[in-house]
Amino acid sequence: MLRGPRTRAWVYQLGCLALSVAISLLCVEIFARLYEGSADNSLVFQNASQVEINGQPGQSSQVTSPPVFQTNPHGTGSYRLRPNLDVKSRMARREVTLHINSFGMPWSETTIEKPAGMQRIAFVGDSFTMGLWATTRESSLVGTFATLGSNGPFETLNFGVGGYGLDDDDLLIREEVMRFSPDYVVLIFFNGNDFRDTYLGLDKYVITDGVAAWNEEHLAQVIPYTITRAKGSPWASARGLLRDTATYRMLSVLKRQMELRLSPPPPPGEFVVSSSFLSFTYWSQVPYPDLAGKAVDVSLERLERMHEFLSARNVRLFIAAMPFREQVYAASEHDYNYDINLPQAYVAQFASAHDIPYLDLLPPLREYVKHGESIYVDGDPHLNDAGHRIAGELVYSWFTAVASP
């Protein structure tokens, strides 16, 4: 006799709980849809705050970026920096400035015509080349290089664009860089994600109102899920419905941003390999995953294409490999499941086989941090002013020792 009322009460409580969960999930979904319609999920300036663009106040959120990008005007894929912008923002309690000239270069104004008697050096690469979080253009890697060579026979130009892979660099060289008649092209290869960004192709980002964000549909097509089920199974159908929700998309973006955001230097001996294709440490694991091997093959094909194009026009290619933070601070160079000399070893082999001057910045930077000075921005994977200065000096010494004016 007593079980009936108790059972009904239990069912009632369970129903109320289920209703509460459903209402909560609905509220989260509504919030996610509103967020999706108003917020951007930047990859390059995600830590910027108090932004000012061309003298006018801009976005100030900790998770949004200044609108510095535009789709490629040539309509051939990829994207470019928007010309004629002066951006001021704060990063790690410092004011940083970014000037984009009339040609869409993160550099001072220049001319298409090469100055008489000068040889031009064009730098290409991603946000490290672009000079991200250097306080000024002069304090960036390329700025340091240019200052050191200011009295010599070389003129330095910076074509770096945040988020670029090798295919983006190759396209930029063909469509923009060659207009400036370079004698040398210096590629700054970033160990943390250049293989990844090249494999993801020219459609990896969506540009909306000047902001670059992951093209989630494209990523879902080119990166296989860790757990797979047969097509048409109940699990696959349920997962498809889940992926159609704004909540899923928002959490996916946040998860990927967290994967890209590196923590402070790990304790000695704690180089942790990630299984995520989007993570920097994924590219230093041993043995190399099949997907990583495919990305290496695609990337080296792009390097081959770039090298052949430049060689046919008597432009000499140089390659410098930029390490990521965890490579620099790893106590041991290798262990049973990682080798910090990967992935750049593949680039070094390619450069050697093609007689391309190559510089691995990892050994000298590992030696430098033993003195205790930080070379990375706190809570961010990019170099600080000290890191840019040291890297610029190293690249300049290497380049001038190899190049002949």
pLDDT tens digits along 73-101: 999 999 999 999 998 887 767 788 899 99
In tens, the pLDDT along 194-217 reads 999 999 999 999 998 888 888 888
Q: In the predicted model, is pLDDT for residue 239 greater than 50? A: no
**Residue-wise DSSP of 341-373:** TTTHHHHHHHHHHTT--EEE-HHHHHHHHTTS-
| Per-residue pLDDT at 220 | 84
| Per-residue pLDDT at 247 | 61
User: Greater confidence, 164 or 41?
Assistant: 164
State which of 29-33, 50-54, 115-119, 263-267 shows the largest mean pLDDT.
115-119
Q: How many CA atoms lie within 13 A of 2 on its CB side?
A: 0
CA 161 to chain CA centroid, nearest Å = 9
User: Greater confidence, 24 or 214?
Assistant: 214
| Per-residue pLDDT at 87 | 87
DSSP assigned state of 33: H
Q: Do the Cβ atoms of 241 and 25 come closer than 8 Å?
A: no
Q: Do the Cβ atoms of 210 and 82 come closer than 8 Å?
A: yes
At 65, the pLDDT band (50, 70, 90 cuts) reads: low
Q: Average per-residue pLDDT in the chain? A: 83
In tens, the pLDDT along 288-307 reads 999 999 999 999 999 999 99
| Per-residue pLDDT at 231 | 38
Q: In the predicted model, is pLDDT for residue 145 greater than 50? A: yes
Q: In the predicted model, is pLDDT for residue 47 greater than 70? A: no
SS3 call for 216: helix
* Alpha-carbon span 340 to 365, nearest angstrom: 13
Residues in Cβ contact with 184 at an 8 Å cutoff, skipping those fewer than 6 apart: 119, 120, 121, 122, 315, 316, 317, 318, 399, 403
| Per-residue pLDDT at 350 | 98
Q: Provide the residue type at 200 as one letter.
A: L
How many percent of the chain have pLDDT more than 70? 74
Average pLDDT over residues 362-374: 93
What domains, with CATH codes, occur in the chain? 49-216+262-402 (3.40.50.1110)
Return the closest-CA partner of residue 120 out of 177, 171, 189, 187. Answer: 177
| Per-residue pLDDT at 251 | 60
